[in-house]
Amino acid sequence: MKIEALKLIAFGPFTDRILDFSGERFGLQVLFGPNEAGKTTALRALTGLLYGFGHIVGDAWKHQPRDLAVGGVFVLSDGRTLNLTRFKRRKNDLIDDDTGEPVGQALLDEHLGRMGREAFTHAFGVSHESLRLGVESVLAAGGDLGHALFAATSGLNTLKLAMARLDEKMAELFTPRSRKALLTTGIAEIKRLRKEQKDASSSHIQWLKMKKQVDRLQQSEKTNEIELEELSARIGSLSRHRDAVKHVAARARLEKELDRIGPAPRLRENFRQERVETRMGVEQAAQTEKHLKRDLGEIDKRLENLSVDERIVNDGKRVEALAGEANVHAKARADAKSLRARIHQQQDSAKDALERLRPGLTSEDAEKLRLSRPEQSRIQRLASAGVKLEESRISAEKALKSAAANLEKLQGRLDAFEKPERPESAEILEDAVFRASELGKIEAQLEKFENETLLLRGRIDADLAALGLWKGELSVLERLAIPTDETMREYGKRIENVERKLDDVRRELKKEEKKRADSQRRFDRMTRSRELPSLKDLHTHRTLRDKGWLSIRAAWLHGEEPDPEFMEAFASDGHLADLYEKSVERADRTSDILRQEAEAVAQADNLREEIREIDVELLAGKIRRDDLRGKRDKLWDQWRKLWSPIGVDPLPPAEMLEWSGRTKELKRKAEAFRKNEAEAGVVRKSMAAAASELMSALLAANAKAPENAGFSTLLSLARRALAKLEKADRDRRNLEGSISALQAEIDGHRERSAEIELEIGRWKEQWAAVVLRLGLEADAGHEDVLEFVLALEDVFRILEKAKDYQVRHDAISSDYEKYRAKVREAADELAPELSAPDPETVALKLNARLKKEQERLKERKTLELDKRKKAAELAKIQENKAALEERMRLLCLEGKTDDPEALPEVEKRSADRIRVERDLAKVDERLEELSVGEDLDAFAERVKSCDPDELSAGIEVLVSKRKQLEQERKRIVAELALAGKELNAIGEESDASMIAVKAEGQIAKTQADVERYVKLRLGSAILAKAMERYRQTHQSPVLEAAGGYFKTITRNAFEGLRADYDEKGNPVIKAVRPDGALLEIAELSDGSRDQLFLALRFGGLFNYVKNNGPMPLVVDDVLVHFDDERSAAALQAMADLARNTQIVFFTHHRHLIDVMKKALPDSPPNVQYL
Amino acid sequence: MTLFVHAADIHLDSPLKGLYQDESAPDPEEIRGAARAAFDKLVDLVLSEGAPLLIIAGDLYDGDWKDFSTGLYFASRMRKLAEEGVRVAVVRGNHDAENKMTKSLVMPENVRIFPSRKPETWILEHLNMALHGQSYPRRDVTENLALDYPEPVPGMLNIGILHCLISGAEGHLPYAPCTSDQLAAKGYDYWALGHVHEPAVVRKTPLIVYPGCIQGRHIRETGDKGCALVEREEDGLSVEFVPLDVLRWMALETDASGADSVDRVVSIFGDVFEERIANLDGRVCCVRVRITGCCPVHGRLLADPDTVVANIKAMAAEVSGGRAWIEKVEIRTAPEIDLAQLAESDTPQGELLRYMDEIESCENPFELLNADFSSLKAKLAGTDVSVPEDDAAQLLRDARDILLTMLADMESREERS
């Protein structure tokens, strides 16, 4: 897929901005935007277009969120075109522009590799930040091949971090040896709680034991209780007898006293008090009766002298009302007088006012001039409009004058400005300053390069001196054709191989020799004391014997010479027959020995055979040894020959490899040295060019500059000159702007004046119409007219007031006459003798008479009431007195006497008898208690017969015994309480249940932790396996492509990338030098690592595009930390990749565009500016 | 008129399961002895209703519970009932058949524990009732005990007491299996059953009733728990279920579809939970939270479950006023991104997902991944905690989502920094 156009319809700062990516089939599309131009926003817009805007609101500051819209034209792999627009909506946010219908995200996903927003942005987005993270991750993973491929292809740049985080989380949960891990502590806690629960559970046996103890104590308590009861009963009996002694004596005494007192009435307790009260009551009643009779006589007398006029009293309300009105009418009469005066006054004022307004004007005329409320308002509005129009006219004139004066002043200032001689000089200067500024801190850079060059030179000299084996100049060294590492390794391996084999052969020979010596020793030991022939010997001896026999036969039968071989076989000469005999004997002996010593012979035979075989082996070994020696020497010769062209007498290959490494390091340093020198040269050159450009630009701008001024001095001078020029230009432009603005202003003022005059004309017509209605002149001033209207209003107000006063006066006079008639009527009825000049006085006098009569009536009523009260009181007293006298008679009856005076004596005897009888009853009651149901007299008789002292002694003994029993009881009860409590406690709340709940809770928690641990562990394993699998399937194509990019990006400093193994045998990625040397990632410089990761990313993308078709790659300022040279190389690699797929490159570095143009002269990228 | 109270499956002092006590948990005193508190309520109910008879149809204790104080506690409550003249009829069920403690404990005279050798009838003349029952002689009683129950006593109210499984009930061991027809055929007026922990009226004529357990002990025992109160009505017997539990177990599903942060998930949970606890009458509740739905926060929930649990607990404490235990938080959400589509892509992520699919379908994925948990298993021995190897597919899916989230998280974190 390719993006043909990105339409920023409404997004961030953009409105209807179209970024056109059409043109060649693919290619590098560059979007340049300086800071704040919206580069990042455009990047977000692109992602938003592909996957939706989500919840982002940051880009809706210029446009409303509902208006956000980004469109795109996509060319699909099959050539079809898709026109889509994305809106910020919850549903149907993707619209097909061709049909206007919503389309699903699935449509886009299908063309975006079905990978979702996150995976897509990772896989097809590269930024310098992601590059940095990726390099760190790959480095942290030790350059692991699977990891590097997985990370670079997916764009997941923090794989290693994620893996470390997984491990960390797992370790928090569980490691077999950690005691602090969550699971370990959880398990320990479960075990602890289980134990605690067991301890807290009460056992059955324990309960039974305690139960027995309680039962025993309960039995003791029962026994003790019975004993105590018996004892208490005995003590009680004795105590009763002892206590009864004194009561029996008292009983006798009281019976005697009763006889003495004799018979007497049993008077009530309050009899005496009642008698005294009755007597005093009778006396008091007689006294009161007397006083009341006297008072009643006096009241009757006073009533006879008191008379009342009831007529006036009955008509009291009318009289009081008339008196009440008197004051009101007096005041009204005074008011009427005052009103009359005011009426005259108002009428005079109105007349005067009319005269002043217009001589001869009567109030009737004036009425015709009366204005309605709308007419008044209209006059006021017109007057106020007239004033405003006048003010506008004046103000417009003033403004016009002021603007004209300003214009003149500014024109004068503009005329005073000088015209620049060479207007283009400022532009030249600006360009020069821009280019010089682009160079940055070039002097510091130069110094850095020079310092580094010096440093490197020193190191190179030192390293060269310490190199050994070879002496000469560095330049020679660099050209030396040192054998490659592979060759050296190969020789090393071969020589090592030969040496190892040689060692093996030597060891083998030594072993065989030792073995031979052993066998020989054993053989010698066996044959030292006896002869042990072999079967071969027997065969030899027999053959010889047979030869002897043939010789004898030949000599004997044919007379031939004996077989010389036979004859020579014997050391000593002899006769044939002897010799034959000897041979026969020897063959027989050998045969005998062989038979007799068969076992020993066989052993000797074996040993002999063994020795023979060993000898064969030894010989072969020696031949092999010599052969290997030859090979080794030949190898060494070749090795030396290999080094002879460069005049080095080589050490063994391993050491030479190390030596070669050092020379390579020297070469690298030399290369760096020369690069530094070259860069210093370039910098110096650019600085000089910039300085010269600045100098000429300064001269062109007529600015002075010292001839030997340095770059930075020139730059700051140029900047100052440029600022000055720019300021002058700005000032002049400002002035011109102000002048044209002023001219426009003056025109405006003139137009306004003309409009005002027109309005004044219209106003005058309306004014004249209004004013004539009032009988005034058409040009009457608005203030005069308003004043006339106001004066007319005043006159109408005064006349109204006079009318009001007249009405009020008439009302007062009518009321007063009515009042007078009412007073006269009342006086005629109630007091015809009363006379007075005015009705008010008559009314008041009548009222005074009424008050007096009312007083007398009140007094008469009081006296009558008093009389009734006293009469009632008297009757009551008399009744009471009679009752008291009856009561006294009854008391005498009770005391059984006729004389009330004898009653005190009767009372005394009665009291004595009652007291003695009560005491006797008490004694009997007590004795009854002590006798516990026994007959009282019998009990008393028995008590009399007891000795009190004996009783006390008996009781004392029993009480002491009871005390002992009680103490015993206390002890038993205490023990029982304790034991009972303990026993019951078992049935109370048990901790075991609570602990069990805790244990169950801990089990659940630990179970959850286990599950989490298992998931993390599985996650970690899955990731590792998936990476390895990915490596196996993608290693070759990705590495191959990445290697090519790496070569391009490093400008052939490396040949490519290769899969290799590290010391531990793990597959890792290595960079290949042109000389074949392999470097691990850790051995690369920071810059080379960045380049390597970028190459890997490109390699992965190339592989994807190859398998799945083109997909736009978004590159965001990835070259920030690359210098121009490396940037150019990276851009070339990018352009290479862009032949197969579209690359949208976002940058805010202007110089990169220049770099790009230089680096890609044949296919310049399509640059769009934001 | 209350005739009797019927309860079963009391499991006295058996611990509540899965309640981990940490800082955010409610006061543990609230759940201390929940089973006893519920049992006290049962005793109070018998007394306050003036019921002359309490029937306990098996599983009064747990078989492996060894704390003797439990038996003493029961005896003390039985004495309390004895003081008021209440009779108690008990049969032993599969759980307490083998409990030695119960055998040696002396019960007050008002308690009748039915023998296990054969069924027996207890005549209560003053109540005009005949109770028929049989205890379990051992744990695994697989024969139908009901068949041998005696004939009903004519003219009396006949009640059968039996700990059994009526065919058709699921999730319980098939002890003393029988059918409701078999029970009905006995001619009793009421069958007081035990064993099934959910209350149920199995049949109305005659009444065959499971009262359920009186207090839930784990998350599979949710909802009201209590006993059956049986009264005599004009036209026969009536049953009313009376809740007794002091602590309610609750399974709560939180649909977190579309949630993009842990806070949002917790907030949704808070709303759902608030609605659910409105009618708990101030009971403490134990809640299992199951978070479901497709949501962007799915992976984060899996990767950092501690944070999720801590936040859920804090929200539960706030909403319930500190009266809720969070027993477990099950994360059963799904990712919002289309993994099937990503798996089709030619990317390392796609490769990873395809590999995952392969592993899932293989017979022994742990072995394939060299994931050896033997040292962990050794440590876990004897703790009742196990390595959950049975549900490998779910574990692998979770592991995959943790992995994908962690990769994406690290990327965005590093890019931000």
* Contacts with A170 from chain B: Cβ below 8 Å: none
Length of chain A as a residue count: 1170
Report the distance separating Cα A210 and Cα A981, nearest Å. 10
Q: What is the dihedral of CA A727, A728, A732, A737, to 10 degrees?
A: 0
Surface-to-core class of residue A163, CB atoms within 10 Å of its CB (0-12 exposed, 13-18 middle, 19+ buried) = buried
Model confidence at A446, pLDDT cuts 50, 70, 90, reads confident
Rama region for A110: left / alpha / beta (φ>0; ψ in -120 to 50; rest): alpha
Report the distance separating Cα B390 and Cα B399, nearest Å. 15
Please give the pLDDT value at position A429.
Answer: 81
Cβ within 8 Å, pair A207-B68: yes
Cβ within 8 Å, pair B408-A1000: no
Supply A900's token pair: 């009330």
Tell me how close the Cα of A1155 comes to any Cα of chain B, in angstroms: 28
Model confidence at A57, pLDDT cuts 50, 70, 90, reads low
Q: Evaluate if residue A665 carries a pLDDT over 70.
A: yes
Please give the pLDDT value at position B410.
Answer: 64
Please give the pLDDT value at position A1062.
Answer: 83
Report the distance separating Cα A781 and Cα A789, nearest Å. 13
Query: What residue in B sits closest to A194 (Cα-Cα)?
Result: B383
Model confidence at A418, pLDDT cuts 50, 70, 90, reads low
Surface-to-core class of residue A672, CB atoms within 10 Å of its CB (0-12 exposed, 13-18 middle, 19+ buried) = middle
**Contact between residue A477 and residue A663 where contact means Cβ atoms under 8 Å apart:** yes
Q: Which of A129, A154, A998 lies at the smallest CB-CB distance from B347?
A: A154
Average pLDDT per 10 consecutive residues for chain B, totaling 417 residues: 93 85 74 85 95 94 76 88 94 83 77 93 95 92 92 95 84 85 94 94 94 93 94 91 93 91 93 88 89 87 87 91 89 82 83 86 84 87 86 86 76 51
Report the distance separating Cα B193 and Cα B187, nearest Å. 15
Please give the pLDDT value at position B415.
Answer: 47
How many residue pairs bridge chain A and chain B with CB atoms within 8 Å of each other?
A: 239
Q: What percent helix, strand, coil does chain A show, rounded to 5?
A: 75, 5, 20
Report the distance separating Cα B365 and Cα A170, nearest Å. 19
Asked which of A102-116, A826-840, B284-298 is least confident by mean pLDDT, the reply is A826-840
Report the distance separating Cα A268 and Cα A261, nearest Å. 18
User: pLDDT tens-digit profile of A483-524?
Assistant: 888 888 888 888 888 888 999 999 999 998 998 998 888 888
Please give the pLDDT value at position A882.
Answer: 86
* B102 against A1079, higher pLDDT: A1079
Tell me how close the Cα of A1021 comes to any Cα of chain B, in angstroms: 6
* Contacts with B20 from chain A: Cβ below 8 Å: 1001-1002, 1004-1005
Report the distance separating Cα A791 and Cα A802, nearest Å. 17
- Choose among B67, B103, B230: nearest CA to B161: B230
- Choose among B172, B183, B197: nearest CA to B144: B183
| In the block, residue with structure tokens 């794989």 | A159
Helix (H, G, I), strand (E, B) or coil at A663: helix
Report the distance separating Cα A796 and Cα A789, nearest Å. 11
Buried b or exposed e, range B100-114, using 16+ CB within 10 angstroms = ebbeebebeebbbbb
Report the distance separating Cα A400 and Cα A404, nearest Å. 6
Q: Which of B260, B305, B345 lies at the smallest CB-CB distance from A114?
A: B345
Please give the pLDDT value at position A211.
Answer: 80
Cα separation values, A886 from A119, A874, A880, A890, Å: 130, 19, 10, 7
Give the sheet arrangement for strand A1067-1072, strand by strand: A1056-1061, A1067-1072, A1078-1080
| In the block, residue with structure tokens 């006993």 | B227
Please give the pLDDT value at position B132.
Answer: 97
Q: Which of A157, A1021, A1029 lies at the smallest CB-CB distance from B351?
A: A1029
Q: Evaluate if residue A292 carries a pLDDT over 60.
A: yes
Query: What residue in A sits closest to B354 (Cα-Cα)?
Result: A1026
**Contact between residue A78 and residue A86 where contact means Cβ atoms under 8 Å apart:** no
Asked which of A315-319, A525-529, A1000-1004 is least confident by mean pLDDT, the reply is A525-529
Mean pLDDT, rounded, for A1071-1085: 90
**Contact between residue B219 and residue B206 where contact means Cβ atoms under 8 Å apart:** no
Supply A770's token pair: 């209004």
Tell me how close the Cα of B17 comes to any Cα of chain A, in angstroms: 5
Cα separation values, A618 from A143, A503, A510, A612, Å: 52, 15, 9, 10
Sign of the torsion angle spanned by Cα atoms B382, B385, B391, B393: negative
Q: Evaluate if residue A880 carries a pLDDT over 60.
A: yes
Mean pLDDT, rounded, for A1022-1041: 86
Cis status of the peptide bond prior to A562, with omega within 30 of 0? no
Bridge-based pairing state of the strands B2-7 and B53-57 = parallel
Helix (H, G, I), strand (E, B) or coil at B226: strand
Supply A435's token pair: 């280019």
DSSP A178: -
Model confidence at A772, pLDDT cuts 50, 70, 90, reads confident
* Contacts with A114 from chain B: Cβ below 8 Å: 341-342, 344-345
* B268 against A764, higher pLDDT: B268
**Contact between residue B193 and residue B202 where contact means Cβ atoms under 8 Å apart:** yes
Give the sheet arrangement for strand A2-11, strand by strand: A14-20, A2-11, A69-75, A81-87, A94-96
Cβ within 8 Å, pair A1016-B341: no
Q: How far, in whole angstroms, is CA A990 from its chain's centroid?
A: 43
Tell me how close the Cα of B141 comes to any Cα of chain A, in angstroms: 27
User: pLDDT tens-digit profile of A304-339?
Assistant: 777 777 788 888 888 888 888 888 888 888 888 888
Please give the pLDDT value at position B273.
Answer: 93
Q: How many CA atoms lie within 13 A of A1017 on its CB side?
A: 24
Asked which of A85-99, A695-709, A808-822 is least confident by mean pLDDT, the reply is A695-709
Mean pLDDT, rounded, for A438-458: 84
- Choose among A1038, A1146, A1135: nearest CA to A24: A1135
Please give the pLDDT value at position B416.
Answer: 45
Please give the pLDDT value at position B20.
Answer: 82
Q: How far, in whole angstroms, is CA A356 from its chain's centroid?
A: 90
Query: What residue in A sits closest to B355 (Cα-Cα)?
Result: A1026
| In the block, residue with structure tokens 């059963």 | B332
Average pLDDT taken over every residue of chain A:
85
Report the distance separating Cα A278 and Cα A887, nearest Å. 7
Cβ within 8 Å, pair B375-A166: no
What is the Cα Rg of chain A in Å?
74
- Choose among B144, B145, B147: nearest CA to B135: B145
* A423 against B212, higher pLDDT: B212
Q: Evaluate if residue A709 carries a pLDDT over 60.
A: yes
Hey, how many other C-beta atoms are within 10 angstroms of the C-beta on A961? 14
* Contacts with B66 from chain A: Cβ below 8 Å: 198, 201, 203
pTM of the model: 0.51
The DSSP annotation for A853-882 comes to: HHHHHHHHHHHHHHHHHHHHHHHHHHHHHH
Please give the pLDDT value at position A1032.
Answer: 85
Supply A94's token pair: 């993707």
Model confidence at A986, pLDDT cuts 50, 70, 90, reads low
Give the sheet arrangement for strand B87-91, strand by strand: B111-113, B87-91, B53-57, B2-7, B226-233, B236-243
* Contacts with B411 from chain A: Cβ below 8 Å: 118, 122, 156-158
Query: What residue in A sits closest to B31 (Cα-Cα)?
Result: A994
Surface-to-core class of residue B217, CB atoms within 10 Å of its CB (0-12 exposed, 13-18 middle, 19+ buried) = buried
* A989 against A1002, higher pLDDT: A1002
Please give the pLDDT value at position B101.
Answer: 66
What's the complex ipTM?
0.84
Query: What residue in A sits closest to B391 (Cα-Cα)?
Result: A1011
Q: What percent helix, strand, coil does chain B show, rounded to 5?
A: 35, 25, 40
Supply B407's token pair: 């990769």
